Structure 1
Amino acid sequence: MGTIQSYINDIEKDIYQIRRQLHKYPELSGEEVNTSALVKEKLTEYGITYKNGFAKTGVLGIIQGSKPGRTVALRADMDALPIQETNEHTFVSEVDGKMHACGHDAHTAMLLGAGYALKQVEEQLEGTVLLVFQPAEEASPIGGSGPMMEDGVFDEYKPDVIYGQHVWLGLPVGEIGVRDKEMMGASDRFSVKVTGRGGHASMPHEGNDAIIIANQMISSLQTIVSRNVNPLDSAVLTIGKIEGGHRYNVIPKEVTFEGTVRTYKPEVKEMIKQRFHTILHQTADAFDAEIDIDYFDGYPATINTPAYAQQARNTAKRLFGEKATPEVEPALAGEDFSRFLLDYPGAFIWLGTQIDDASEQKPLHDPGFQLDEKALPMGSRFLAEVALDTLHSLSHQEG
Structure 2
Amino acid sequence: MKLIDSILTQAAGIATLRRDIHAHPELCFEEVRTADVVAQKLTEWGIPVHRGMGTTGVVGIVHGRDGGASGRAIGLRADMDALPMQEHNHFAHASQHAGKMHACGHDGHTAMLLAAAQHFAKHRNFDGTVYLIFQPAEEGGGGAREMIKDGLFEQFPVEAVFGMHNWPGLPVGSFAASAGPVMASSNDFRIEIRGKGAHAALPHNGIDPVPVACQMVMAFQTIITRNKKPLDAGVISVTMIHTGEANNVVPDHCVIQGTVRTFTYEVLDLIERRMREIAEHTCAAFGAGCEFHFHRNYPPTVNDAAQTAFARGVMADIVGADRVLDQEPTMGAEDFAYMLQARPGCYVFIANGDGVHRDMGHGDGPCMLHNPSYDFNDDLIPLGATYWVRLAEQWLGQPRTEGAA
Relative to the length of structure 1, the TM-score reads 0.95
Helix, strand or coil at the partner of 2:179: coil
Q: CA deviation at 1:293?
A: 2.1
- Aligned-residue sequence identity (percent) comes to 37
Verify: 1:77 aligned to 2:79, yes or no: yes
Q: Distance in 2 between matches of 1:334 and 1:322?
A: 27
- The structure-2 alpha-carbon separation of the partners of 1:4 and 1:70, relative to structure 1 and needing over 3 Å to count, comes to farther
Task: Identify unmatched segments of 5+ residues in structure 2.
Answer: 358-363
Q: CA deviation at 1:4?
A: 7.2
Q: Deviations over 1:300-345 (max 9, x none)?
A: 1111011111111111110011211122311110100000000100
Verify: 1:263 aligned to 2:258, yes or no: no
1:47 maps to: 46
Q: Deviations over 1:268-300 (max 9, x none)?
A: 111111111111111111111122222111111
Q: CA deviation at 1:356?
A: 5.0
Within the candidate set 97, 100, 103, 2:102 is matched to 100
Q: CA deviation at 1:347?
A: 0.1
Q: Distance in 1 between matches of 2:253 and 2:80?
A: 38
| Residues 70 and 394, structure 1, Cα contact 8 Å, conserved in 2 | no
1:9 maps to: 8
- The structure-2 alpha-carbon separation of the partners of 1:388 and 1:298, relative to structure 1 and needing over 3 Å to count, comes to same
Q: CA deviation at 1:396?
A: 9.1
1:363 maps to: 368
Q: Distance in 2 between matches of 1:360 and 1:216?
A: 36
Q: CA deviation at 1:17?
A: 1.4
Q: Distance in 1 between matches of 2:368 and 2:227?
A: 31
Q: Distance in 2 between matches of 1:46 and 1:323?
A: 36
- The structure-2 alpha-carbon separation of the partners of 1:246 and 1:164, relative to structure 1 and needing over 3 Å to count, comes to same
Amino acid at match of 1:126: D
Q: Distance in 1 between matches of 2:21 and 2:367?
A: 20
Helix, strand or coil at the partner of 2:230: coil
Q: 5 Å matches for 1:1-399?
A: 5-67=4-66, 68=70, 70-122=72-124, 124-140=125-141, 143-355=142-354, 357=356, 361-395=366-400
Amino acid at match of 2:351: G
Q: CA deviation at 1:30?
A: 1.2
Q: CA deviation at 1:180?
A: 1.3
Q: Distance in 2 between matches of 1:85 and 1:109?
A: 20
Task: Identify unmatched segments of 5+ residues in structure 1.
Answer: none
Q: Distance in 2 between matches of 1:19 and 1:254?
A: 48
- The structure-2 alpha-carbon separation of the partners of 1:181 and 1:55, relative to structure 1 and needing over 3 Å to count, comes to same
Q: What RMSD, in angstroms, separates the aligned Cα atoms of the two structures?
A: 1.8
Q: Distance in 1 between matches of 2:149 and 2:401?
A: 32
Q: Distance in 2 between matches of 1:157 and 1:363?
A: 34
- The structure-2 alpha-carbon separation of the partners of 1:393 and 1:4, relative to structure 1 and needing over 3 Å to count, comes to farther
Select between 288-297 and 227-236 the one with higher mean Cα deviation: 288-297
Helix, strand or coil at the partner of 2:330: coil
Q: Distance in 2 between matches of 1:186 and 1:51?
A: 30
Helix, strand or coil at the partner of 1:158: coil
Amino acid at match of 2:117: G
Q: Distance in 1 between matches of 2:267 and 2:12?
A: 46
Q: CA deviation at 1:69?
A: 5.3
| Residues 361 and 370, structure 1, Cα contact 8 Å, conserved in 2 | no
Helix, strand or coil at the partner of 1:117: helix
| Residues 23 and 96, structure 2, Cα contact 8 Å, conserved in 1 | yes
Q: CA deviation at 1:146?
A: 1.1
Q: Deviations over 1:338-386 (max 9, x none)?
A: 0000010000000100235599633211111233221122111111111
Helix, strand or coil at the partner of 2:4: helix
Helix, strand or coil at the partner of 1:63: strand
Aligned residues: 393
Q: CA deviation at 1:119?
A: 2.0
Q: Distance in 2 between matches of 1:376 and 1:64?
A: 23
Q: Distance in 2 between matches of 1:94 and 1:5?
A: 33
Q: Distance in 2 between matches of 1:240 and 1:356?
A: 29
Q: CA deviation at 1:397?
A: 8.5
Q: Distance in 2 between matches of 1:39 and 1:317?
A: 30
- The structure-2 alpha-carbon separation of the partners of 1:108 and 1:59, relative to structure 1 and needing over 3 Å to count, comes to same
